[in-house]
Amino acid sequence: MSYHSELPAGTTVTGRTRGQQYVIQRTLGKGTNGIVYLVDGPQGQPYALKLATENHDLQPEIKLLVSLHKHWKRTGRNDSNRYLYDADDYEDEGRQIPFYVMKYVKGQPLSVYLRSRGSDKIGMAGLGILEILLELHESGWVFGDLKAEHVIITEEGEVELIDYGGARQQGKSIHQFTEWYDRHYWKAGTRTGDFAYDLFAFAVICIKLFNEPALHKMITTRLPQMRSEADLVVLIDETPGLALYSSWLKKAVRGEFRNSREAYNSWKAISRSGLPSSRSSSDMMTQKLKRAFIWSLIALAVVLYITIYIKG
């Protein structure tokens, strides 16, 4: 087998050190450093297995997933296998090819889901994404390579992220990113991993889902040195489908949230009430002022009436 060619269905991948066996069902997709297969695990359960391709080192990704897995286990989570179930080498024609095995996420990419179920489902989907991010951030991690293609909606309607290979501990430099979603690319901040890095990428996901042509045009026509977060703010304002979340999205691209919990709660409030957070409070203020104005007019009318007709 050439390192580049896909393994055919039915191939058994046996781990050199641990001896676990996985039978390949089909290819799920190709990434920059490996091919991801749907496999049957030791007890016949489905898993996703990523096998390195030639000249690509999967070890840093595996190392990272091992530490994320350990961290998750220490915190007593029973779904720590979602990142990593096994990691080993596959021996083929005298070569040792690294692979790792993770939870198989079955479902639709977010873009397909919104097309079929309606764009207003972004409220629910966004909340699911922000909940996963909140959990990661509160345990000191950053997802890193957050993009639309990494968001899957399962058949049960749950949100899952795939490709934790870009995750970093907070404060470490992001090493795997996709330009459009990268804060530094937009000159909106550094590439140092913090919660705001992921929130920025989430905002770009929303813009891309609702106005990809305009985002694409902005990227291809703007000189790199002229690029800025203000461009994204313009796109948010120009996209009617994002009106409800516009104030939230602007805060995310400007890095104005104090933490992920604030961002999560704010998104939740908007999606549940159907009112933009800033507008709902300013609307309430306007209503109160209107009411106060009307009552003072009535009071004035009463005073004038008494003065002119009763006393006079």
Binding of residue 55 to ligand ATP (CB under 6 A):
no
Residue number, 50 or 69, with CB nearest to ligand ATP: 50
d(CA 6, CA 92): 13
Q: Which of 24, 36, 142, 205 binds ligand ATP (CB under 6 A)?
A: 36
In whole angstroms, the minimum distance from the beta carbon of 148 to ligand ATP comes to 11
Task: Identify the three-state secondary structure at position 289.
Answer: helix
Binding of residue 89 to ligand ATP (CB under 6 A):
no
Binding of residue 52 to ligand ATP (CB under 6 A):
no
DSSP 160-213: EE--GGG-EETTSBP-S--GGG-TTTTTSS-SB--HHHHHHHHHHHHHHHHHHH
Q: Which of 6, 15, 23, 29 binds ligand ATP (CB under 6 A)?
A: 29
Residue number, 37 or 264, with CB nearest to ligand ATP: 37
Q: Which of 32, 78, 221, 225 binds ligand ATP (CB under 6 A)?
A: 32
Number of Cα atoms under 13 Å in the Cβ half of residue 13: 33
Applying CB under 6 A, what is the total number of residues that bind ligand ATP? 17
Residues 254-283 that bind ligand ATP (CB under 6 A): none
Of residues 100, 117, 23, 93, the one with CA closest to residue 61: 100
Binding of residue 102 to ligand ATP (CB under 6 A):
yes
Encoded one letter per residue, x for contact with ligand ATP by CB under 6 A and - for no contact, window 124-163 reads ---------------------x---x------------xx
Of residues 207, 64, 87, the one with CA closest to residue 143: 64
Residue 182 one-letter amino acid: D
**146-182 as b/e, with b when 16 or more CB fall inside 10 Å?**
bbbebbbbeeeeebbbbbbbbbbeeeeebbbbbebbb
d(CA 53, CA 49): 13
Q: Which stretch binds ligand ATP (CB under 6 A): 30-38, 84-92, 205-213, 271-279?
A: 30-38
Q: Is 50 annotated as a binding residue?
A: yes
**Footprint of ligand ATP on this chain (CB under 6 A)?**
28-32, 34, 36, 48, 50, 102-105, 145, 149, 162-163
Residues contributing to the annotated binding site for ATP = 50
